[in-house]
Structure formats: C-alpha cells, structure tokens
Structure 1
C-alpha cells in the first residue's frame, strides 16, 4: 500500500461517520473513538497546508452537520423562521465550527511533515484540545460534544476528569489516534522507533490506574455513614412546547407538576422536588393563578425548585424592564428562598447578538424571548443543601459547574427544556455533557428536563433512574452532598489553555525553522 493513497479525499470523510457512530444518540459504539480520527490524520500526512485546510473545513462541515442537524427544527418549528432562512443559518454555524477543524488540518499537516513521532504525540492532541478550548468561549462559546464526551456512558473511563476536566479525555483519545497513525506510517516507512508507543502505553496506563483507584475511593466516601444526603424528587411534565405558553393551558401545566409532586412526597418522602426550565410558563409575580401553586406547596409540605421567566423593572421613568430565564426556590409557605438568573444565554435562542444588523432573525427573539444575563452570586440553600443551578445548555460548559463549586455548592441541579431538540440525538448529547460536570466537580447532579432526559447523576458519573424522552415521568433519589474540592476546580481547568499554548507554540517553532532555513538558503 502506498502512502499516496492517503491523498484520496473521501478517506477523510470516514472520520465524521465514525464519530457519529461512536457518540450517544448515534451508534453509541464508543470504542470507535480510538480510531475515528485516523483516516483524517492519514490524509493530512501527504497534503500541502492549503489542501489540508480545505479538507479539514469539509470534514468539519460533515462532522458538525451530523451533530447539529436538529437546529433546523429549532429555528423553523419553534423559532418561527422559514426553511429557506433556517437552513442557511444552520450552514453559517456549521461553517464557523468547521473553521476549527480546518485550522487543525493546516497545522496538523505541518506537524506531520516536520516533527518527530514523539513530538507528534504531544503536538496533535494539544492542538486539538487547544482548539476545543478556544471554541468554548470565542463568540460566547459553543463547545458542543467534544470528543471526550463520547465515553460519558462508561464511568470507569471518565474518572480522570476530576484532574483536568473532559479535555483530558479528549487528549487521551487523540493520543491513541495519533499513535495508530504513527504505527501505520512506521510500517509504510520501515522505521523502528518504539519510544512513542512506550510513552502512549505509559500515559494511558497511569490514567487507567488513577481512574480505577479514584472510582473506588469516591465510592467508599459515598458509602460512609457520615456522608450528608438529601431526598430529591424530579418531575418531567412532558408539556408540548407548542402549547405550554397558551394562556388556557397554563393552569393545567401547573396542576400536572403539583399532582406529580404530591405523589413524590407521599410515596417517596421527597424533601425537595425539582421542576424543569420554564416549568412555570408565565411570570410568577404577574400571574393571578399562583395561588393554586402556593396551596399545592402548603398541602404537600415540600419545597420546589422550578424554572420560570422573570422580570425586574430597571428604570421606571424610561420604562426599562429586564427579562431573565430564572430558577426559583419556593418553600412550602410560598416564599422564595433563593433565585438564580441564567448567566450564559443561548445566542440566537435567548438573545440575538448584533440584532440591529441581523433583522431577519427577529422572529427568534419574538418566539423565545430577549433575555438579560444574570450572574453566579450565591448558592440556593435548602436545609443542608447548597444548590448550584445550571439552566439548559449551561451544563455543557465546564466552567459553570466549577464556578458554582467555588461558591460553595455541594449539589448541582440542571433545569432544561429539551423539547426544542425534537426526537434527535441532541437530548442524549446534552445528558452526556452533563455527566462530565458531575465527575469534574465530584457533585451529584439532579436533572429535570421537560421532555427528557431527566434523572440523577452521582459524583462518579453514574446515571440513575434516567427517563425516556417525550414521556411523563417522575422519580426520587437520596443524593449525596459532597464538599471536597477537586484538582479540576482548583487549577486543573487550565489544562485547555495550556494545550492551546503548547499546540500553537509547536506550530510557531515550525515557522521559525522554515524562515531560518529559507534565510540560510538565500544567503
């Protein structure tokens, strides 16, 4: 077999297919992640920088297209955009996401041509993780389904995330893929350098040993008699997204949640019951029917943490009102014990960036809302629980869970409304990303979704009592309230930016070498 065969363009497009087959909501064959990037990287080996950039861009379009196709439903069915606008808007997002893959292609081809095998083992994983980290915050950030999330369903494989977050899992997967590429190229070139393989096996072995030990250690802590716990119930109302905001359905919606709450308290002794994002489809302070909810809370004698839209008058004279996507903690007497206003809003979902220059996206704001961001200030406290709240896609950001733990949270609650996604892979992706927040912080996560997936995630990332999607469901569990601070929360979150510096630093080394060699030839 000739290395020239790697120039065949279609070989690189095997990578998006393998990733889709490996991810939750796709084939869920997570073992494929160990080889998923091999076809793409092999193609880069014999391409010029420009060719690698173009291939990376096209592969990125295919890869993210398979992951984000459901956005057309969000934009058209719920966002009010016609298909002839929704499809191009999706393509614009895919084009942006694909740029990161294109940069990896260009830089990766340079590394493959100029670096030793050992340097490649560091350079390619660092470059990929560094680009993931950049994508997590540039233009408000959209780190949807980094590779490391693909193993979220295998608890033993994710325990090292409490060191350096999910980026460490991605790094290790890139390490494996790079090593396989090196083995193939070694066979092609008849070289005999076993040092890279020794390094790869040693790194994976160390991480595997740590994960095994850490799983047993945390499990032991969870079983200690003195570990604090809280009995929590979750209600998944499965309220039709197209009907929930209808005035004649609002009271029925509240009644649905109250009835399920009464059952959880009576049969499962739930001390706190969690309802999903915007489970109250109205502004509580301005809704006359809130008396039914107050009566229901008093009857059940339980506290409820629920999502609700909220508003505050910022300036009476200027008639300036700020709207928020909020979480409200109601006590049995109807008083509010704590509130949180969502701080990381969804661009083009909860607000439109530069909307003065994008008037054709106005229906999105009209359909969903034009919210203001809040801040993470203090936990919502109930009994011995110090609650940190992740609303909707806040759970895909590692920094959000970390910040709540820094504020003293001993349990995290994820309120979401995944009805927007329809019957797609997105709810399974969202759940997988939430699992890593539990492991990174070693906090229990209680997840309440309007249409699923709801359930309980323990500090080891084990999902208990997960619901099916698009079905009414309720459940209760006793969740542990841990207080230890992980390395990730302290400083391990810096792994991403360090990889970015390392990856692009190595690319800079290549440029310096090329300039020097060019200057010497010219002289």
Structure 2
C-alpha cells in the first residue's frame, strides 16, 4: 500500500503562512500573488472532496491562527475557536477546487479509459481530433480556454465563499484577499465597482493560470513542442486593465469638486484596565477636556505664528476645526434617552465638561462615542430604566444652544457576536460563564441593535455635510455603510476602541480593512480610535492629504500609533456626492460568481447522474 504523500500538507501549511504575510503584522502584500502557487498543486493532485477540504482547511487554519493571533490578548480559547471556524470556508473552497475546479482530475479520468483499436487507429483518431480542433492553433485555443475555465471556477468560488464568510452568522469579512491591496492604491480602485471582495478574483485567477501554464510547459519541454500561452496573456491583460482603471480613477477622483471638512481627532491611548475602572471616570473626562483644550491652543498658536509671518498683508487662512472627534465610548457615563422625547440627557459631570469646558473653545461640533441607555421621568428627574434598551452609539453635539436639544445620535447596528451580545444568554446562563472564562471579565449584558440608516448632519461653513456614522468594526462592513449613501456631500466617521487588543496588529489590520469603505463609496473616512489607528482616509483610500500631501495619522516620529496625541486634518467631501456602482448594487459581483459556481456544480451533478444511468 502506498503511503499518503506528506508534501501536499506541507504545501498547505506554507500557503497559510504566505497568506498571513500579506497583512499588517508582516505587510508583504506581494505575497497575494504567490501564496496559492503551492496550494493549487497540493489540491489538484487529489480527486476526493474530503481530501480537498482537508488541504484547504489546513491552509486556512494556519492562516487564521497567525492572522488573528491578536485575539490571544483577550481570549486564547476564543482565538483558537475563531480560527478553527473560519478555516471551514477554506475547506469548502478546497472541496470545490479538487472537484469541479480541478483541471487535472478530468485528465486523469480520461487517461484511465481503455483505448480500443490498433495504434494506427489511435493515430487516425488523434489526427481527426486535431483537424476538428483547427490544427495547432485550435489546440492552443482549446488548451487556453480550458485553463481559463478552471481558473474562473476557482476564482469565482473563492470570491463567492469569501462573501459568504462576511455574511453568514452576522459575518466576519476581515482580511479578505482584496485587503492585501490596502497600500497599493492603483490596484485597489476597482473596489468601487466590485467591492473589496471582488478584488480577490484576479489573484486567484492568475495563480490558477500560472500553475496550469507551468505544468503544460514542463510537458512541452519533454516533447520538444512549445506552444503560445494565450491563457496567461488573457490573465495578464486583465491585470493591466485593472491597473489602468486604477490610474485613471485616482486622477478622476482627484479632480472632483469637494467641500473641505476640517477635523480635530483626539486620541487618549487609555489602557483598558483604566478605561473601565469606575474610579477613573473623573480622570478620563478631564483628560479629554485637557487634550482638546491643548490641541485647540496649538491651532490658535499656529494661526498667530502664521499672521506674524505674513505682515505684508497677504490673505491667510486661519485653522479652525469644524468637527472635534473623540473615540468609541470616550465618555464613561452613558447618554440617556426617553421614548417619545427628542431630547437627550447627560450626567452632571459630562454636561459640565461639554457645556463649560469644550463648547467655549470654538464653534465646532463634537462627535463622541457614548453608550445610550433608555430612561424615564419620575418626580421631575430622569432615571435610568433597569432592563431598558441600551445601545453602543455616536453622539453629535452641535455648537451653541441647550445641550439636551443639540444632540443627534446614531445607534450601532452591526453588533459583535459574543462581544456586544450573546444569543440566548438569558435562557442559557452558562454562556455568560463561558464568556467570563475565555475573556476574563463578566458579561455586562446584551446591547440592542439600531435600525436607522439615515445620515447625521453637521454644519460646515455656510452649508451642511452629511455624516455616515459607524462604530467599532462597522467600518469593515461594506454592505452596511453603503446603505447611508445619499447624493450629497458626505463624510464617513468611525469611532472605535481597539485597545482591547493592546499593542498588537489588530488596530493596523482594522485600518487596512476600513480603507476600502472610502474607495467603495468614494467618500472620505475619518477614524478616531482610543489607541489608534486614528486618521483621515481620502476617497481613493490614501492616508495622504490630496491637497497638501501631508500624512494624516496620529503617530509619533517612528510611525507608532500607540500614542496619546491629536491630529488636525482635512476630509474632502465630493460636493455632488456621486454614487458608485458598489453603493448602488453592493456585492453584486460576488453573488454572480456564487451563481456561476452553483451552475457549474449542478451541471456536474446532472452529468454524473446521466452517466450512471
């Protein structure tokens, strides 16, 4: 009995490592074109779906264990369980790749069929087949078409399954293949057509074509008959088209008329053990007040220096923020609301902070992450309602006027499973105990999910700009943010707290994923995070100011974003609010790819049934 080959499993392991290297933590994005080269031969040598699933699963498990190692800062058990679950999607893809996506499987089947007749008859049949195929050129076309067909099946199935990963069970679309292009703007621009999930198509197609081309080339070297590689030429042409589209799109978007929104981001870099300590509430509140006051003073000092440097009377522009932004859950005390009441109510220390220390600094709107709790009136007072609704939210406080009447809120819609809510935890209390065992902290209760997709509105200069709000990981969910798009000047605002994961690569990976919302929707994205990465992403996915070329990130001189600091920057909202194909149709490309794979699989099933009968 032949021993099972070890090299395919080692190849799967290597592929998982290479894929992990594409993302922040290693940041070798070029590996996106390489990582599948060992994986395809390892899968295609097999015939059974179980084998293909196993190879794919090993590659996925290695990738996710490395890629999500930052989860160990919260829960080692959670990190392992998450990796084991997400690897299933790689396994499902492997089962497709080894069956309907396997170009070698059909050849092997054909080779096992007995040949009838003499060698002369076989030569005649081969000659007739060649003439039917159009001679040498026909053979080249047939081989290239066949290669592209199987490459298409593999690429389509990858895109479709990656989309399912971001949708099933609330979804986790984190670090799809397309995210590897987060620092390659030219190749990332097609996301406004097909979404970041659709960007995975070409790397998979290219890898499948390369492996098939190398295999055929080796056989032709032995026979001494080399043929043109039309399939490789087609794949290279597709890459060139994507590149050219990116070059054109960057230039095109750069020429749009925009409304400049001046933002001031405050990043306190508060450790989690302090952030949630009730004894630290006063210090945290005062910290935001002091940091904001100091940042505004820096801006005023810069204005004074600018005026002194222009004593000849030239017109100079004074810096003044339109928006001051604090991160997720910046205010330890919740904001209260009463059903049917348009006002919002603040605890005394928070009201004092905003009304007496922040608002006098300037005519800007304050955007802050705050928990929003349901309350009720009693004896002329507002009381928190025990068992009432509670939301992770964004509060937008307009300048001037009574605080209670100047607050707009957004209620987070996409909640984190086993983070912000645990299904059936009331009926199955052991789930809460399991959370405490894995996370090392008590579960504080389920948040409710918001339902509104109406943008918020702020005053900028003499006009208004709409805000597309998102909290925490919502800026990685394209199907959600696209629902806020309107044909008007808009800026996306995300507040987040990645401090749970300490000084790991989680924050950098979060930013890498978030960049694609700016490209998909062609709206600038402003992010304010407790521990970073805070910054401004342009409508082309760049962290550089399109007008000044300055890098717009809160970081130190060494590029470290785990700092306490601030950023005065600019977001440029397209005046006419053009609506992209992705904003209109969402992940249409991934759905089409999924339908293509479904058709291919059904056709293969019917073919087997017919052959059996």
3-state SS in 2 of match to 1:307: strand
Measured in 2, the distance between the counterparts of 1:257 and 1:407 equals 35
The answer to whether 1:375 aligns with 2:451 is: yes
Cα deviation for residue 175 of structure 1 reads 1.6
**How many pairs were matched up?**
500
Seen in structure 2, the aligned counterparts of structure 1 residues 319 and 289 have a Cα distance that, compared at 3 Å, is: closer
Shift of 1:439: 0.4
Contact 1:352 1:361 in 2 (8 A): no
Q: Secondary structure at the match of 1:429?
A: helix
1:321 match: secondary structure: coil
Q: Superposition pairs for residues 232-247 of structure 1, below 5 Å?
A: 232-247=263-278
Q: Which moved more, 1:408-417 or 1:189-198?
A: 189-198
What is the aligned partner in structure 2 of residue 201 from structure 1? 236
Q: Distance in 1 between matches of 2:521 and 2:106?
A: 39
The one of 417, 425, 434 aligned to 2:497: 417
| Aligned counterpart in structure 2 of residue 401 of structure 1, from 469, 475, 481 | 481
| Match of residue 95, structure 1, among 84, 91, 111 | 84
TM-score by length of 1: 0.90
**Alignment partners' CA distance in 2, 1:141 and 1:492:** 15
Distance in 1 separating the partners of 2:473 and 2:346: 27
Could you say if the C-alpha distance between residues 289 and 314 of structure 1 is closer, same or farther in structure 2, counting changes exceeding 3 Å? closer
The residue number in structure 2 matching 1:78 is: none
2:163 aligned partner: 133
Q: How does 1:153-168 map to 2 (within 5 A)?
A: 153-168=183-198
What residue number does 1:56 align with? 56
Note the C-alpha offset of 1:419: 0.4
Q: Give the one of 461, 474, 481 matched to 2:573.
A: 481
Q: Assess if the C-alpha contact under 8 Å between 1:349 and 1:368 holds in 2.
A: no
Alignment of 1:56-455 (within 5 A): 56-75=56-75, 86-87=76-77, 89-110=78-99, 111-112=101-102, 113-114=105-106, 116-190=146-220, 192=227, 194-221=229-256, 224=257, 227-266=258-297, 267=299, 268-284=319-335, 285=345, 287-290=347-350, 291-301=352-362, 302-313=364-375, 320-333=387-400, 334=403, 335-355=405-425, 356-357=427-428, 358-363=431-436, 366-367=442-443, 369-383=445-459, 384-406=464-486, 410-455=490-535
Q: CA deviation at 1:492?
A: 4.9
Which of these residues, 555, 561, 566, is aligned with residue 469 of structure 1?
561
Provide TM-score, normalisation by structure 2.
0.77
Distance 1:154 1:318, change over 3 A: closer
Q: Bigger relative contact order, structure 1 or 2, given CA contacts below 8 A and separation 6+?
A: 1
Larger radius of gyration: 2
What is the DSSP-based 3-state SS (H/G/I as helix, E as strand, rest coil) of the residue aligned with 1:248? helix
Runs of 5+ consecutive residues of structure 1 not aligned to the other structure = 76-85
- CA apart distance, 1:7: 5.2
For the structure 1 residues 359 and 297, does the alpha-carbon distance in structure 2 shift closer, same or farther, using more than 3 Å as the test? closer
For residues 318 and 473 of structure 1, what CA distance do their matches in structure 2 show?
36
Gaps in structure 2 of 5+ consecutive residues: 108-145, 221-225, 300-318, 336-344, 378-382, 544-550, 555-559
The answer to whether the Cα contact below 8 Å between 2:432 and 2:442 also exists between their aligned partners in 1 is: no
User: Following the alignment from structure 1 to structure 2, what is the Cα–Cα distance between the partners of residues 318 and 431?
Assistant: 36
Separation in structure 2 between the aligned mates of residue 167 and residue 318 of structure 1, nearest angstrom: 42
The superposition leaves residues 14-65 of structure 1 with CA deviations (integer Å, 9 ceiling, x where unpaired) of: 1111112221222x11111111111111101111321111121122111111
